[in-house]
């Protein structure tokens, strides 16, 4: 049997506009299909820029031309759909070009959260574009948004990011995986839903995609959890003259670095935390963090940062 792998794509694999995304995902598809002969693959992805763009467009359209109000969960579903469409199309074309007998399917994925999660009173998840302090202050006043500085890159709107509890479509994902599909699922951390009177209802939030990806990897009993981001290896003292690239992190050392504040909340911290969740659930599995263009090399043990025992 092939090993199972969950690949979590970072924003750098998707771009910041539909046009840029369609161009970038062609390269992303090549990197994913490079692994198709050796692994059964589930692909997850973020949606921070995209869901922010959609939500802003919907609010402006409502304010200016009176279109209906569209909820945040619905905006998340829209972003899942169009990102999945671009990825699915590009992966299908790449499989066809290489004569690989495999299909690709996107599952619109709901993820259950606790409606009383403390995250709803403390928004932390960055979405949308980067702004200057002046632009952020103006939009906060005009629209009531909350902005926070994001890892030295500018100001971004933040929304609630509750902990994922349950992946609703997990059985469908399993079935597709078992039937020779590359599966795209859990996009943007999933469409956030909560139970009210035992019925699912969308909530205004964006679940961290790395945390949902870790849960998905646990649920399908993946052998490998691979997070693809902008850097080849995890670093401490990042972007300083004392920067040090890390080849391997034990859970204990990773927790120490977290306690020391080495990993930023808006960038590397959720990735490290997701990897810890996965390897602590299954101490024989492997978690890896590297860049998109180094994915295959990292899986061959030539680069990337391994988190595990």
Q: Which tokens in the block code for residue 10?
A: 């970072």
What are the strands, taking DSSP E only, across 67-190? 103-106, 110-112, 125-131, 147-149, 155-159, 166-167, 181-184
State the number of CA atoms in the 13 A half-sphere of 1 facing the CB. Answer: 10
Provide the 8-state DSSP code for 189.
G
Q: For 201, phi and psi rounded to 5 degrees?
A: -145, 135
What DSSP letter does each residue of 93-128 carry, written as one string? HHHHHTT---EEEE---EEE--TT-GGGGS--EEEE
Contact 68, 97 (CB under 8 A): no
The Cα 180–Cα 104 span in angstroms is 8
In terms of Cβ atoms closer than 10 Å to its own Cβ (0-12, 13-18, 19+), residue 30 is middle
Write a three-state SS string for 274-297: HHHHHHHHCCCCEEEEEEHHHHHH
The Cα 306–Cα 309 span in angstroms is 9
Catalytic positions, please? 11-12, 125, 209, 271
Angle at 222 between CA 218 and CA 227, to 5 degrees: 85
């Amino acid at each position: 049997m092939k090993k199972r792998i969950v690949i979590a794509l970072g924003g750098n694999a998707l771009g910041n506009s539909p046009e840029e995304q369609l161009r970038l995902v062609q390269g992303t598809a090549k990197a994913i299909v490079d692994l198709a002969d050796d692994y059964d693959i589930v692909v997850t992805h973020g949606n921070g820029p995209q869901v922010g763009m959609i939500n802003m467009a919907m609010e402006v359209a409502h304010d200016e031309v009176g279109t209906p109000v569209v909820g945040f969960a619905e905006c998340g579903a829209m972003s899942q759909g169009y990102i999945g469409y671009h990825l699915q199309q590009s992966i299908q074309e790449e499989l066809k070009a290489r004569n690989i007998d495999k299909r690709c399917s996107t599952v619109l994925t709901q993820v259950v959260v606790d409606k009383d999660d403390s995250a709803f009173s403390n928004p932390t998840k960055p979405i949308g574009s980067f702004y200057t302090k002046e632009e952020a202050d103006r939009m906060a006043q005009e629209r009531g948004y909350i902005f926070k500085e994001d890892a030295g890159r500018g100001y971004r709107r933040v929304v609630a990011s509750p902990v994922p509890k349950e992946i609703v479509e997990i059985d469908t994902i399993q079935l597709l995986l078992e039937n020779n599909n590359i599966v795209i699922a859990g996009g943007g951390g999933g469409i956030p839903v909560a139970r009210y009177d035992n019925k699912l209802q969308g909530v205004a939030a964006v679940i961290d995609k790395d945390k949902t990806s870790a849960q998905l990897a646990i649920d399908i009993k993946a052998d490998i959890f691979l997070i693809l981001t902008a850097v080849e290896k995890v670093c401490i003292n990042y972007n300083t003259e004392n920067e040090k690239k890390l080849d391997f992190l034990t859970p204990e050392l990773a927790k120490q670095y977290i306690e020391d504040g080495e990993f930023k909340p808006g960038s590397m911290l959720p990735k490290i935390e997701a990897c810890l969740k996965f390897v602590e659930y299954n101490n024989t599995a492997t978690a890896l963090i590297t860049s998109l263009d180094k994915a295959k090399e990292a899986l061959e043990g030539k680069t990337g940062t391994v988190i595990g025992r």
